[in-house]
Amino acid sequence: MQSAKTSPLTNKMTDNIIDRDELQEKLIQWDLSQMSLDDLKEYFVNMQNAELDCLSVDELIEEVQQYNPHLLLSKEN
């Protein structure tokens, strides 16, 4: 069994030196500050496509019905 000091799952030694949540938040905020509005839009579209691509057609329809049912209305209506 590995000690907490060397375990890749807990990495207690590093956790005592660096506040991971704070470091992660700083990195996210830095990344965000580097993006233009067009970059953010592109990122959002890519993330939405990746998430929605994982759904079956039935799950996608359910998602649309829940949040945007008007998107399912035919053009004739």
| pLDDT recorded at residue 14 | 60
CB burial of 31-44 (b: ≥16 within 10 Å; e: otherwise) equals eeeeeeeeeeeeee
pLDDT, tens digit, for every residue of 49-75? 999 999 999 999 999 999 999 999 966
Tell the residue number behind the tokens 């839009």, with chain if given: 41
Phi, psi of 57 (to 5 degrees): -60, -45
CA separation for the pair 18, 20 (Å, rounded) = 6
Stretch 26-38: mean pLDDT: 97
Phi, psi of 50 (to 5 degrees): -60, -40
Percent of the chain, pLDDT > 90?
70
CA separation for the pair 12, 58 (Å, rounded) = 44
pLDDT band at 4 (very low <50, low <70, confident <90, very high): very low
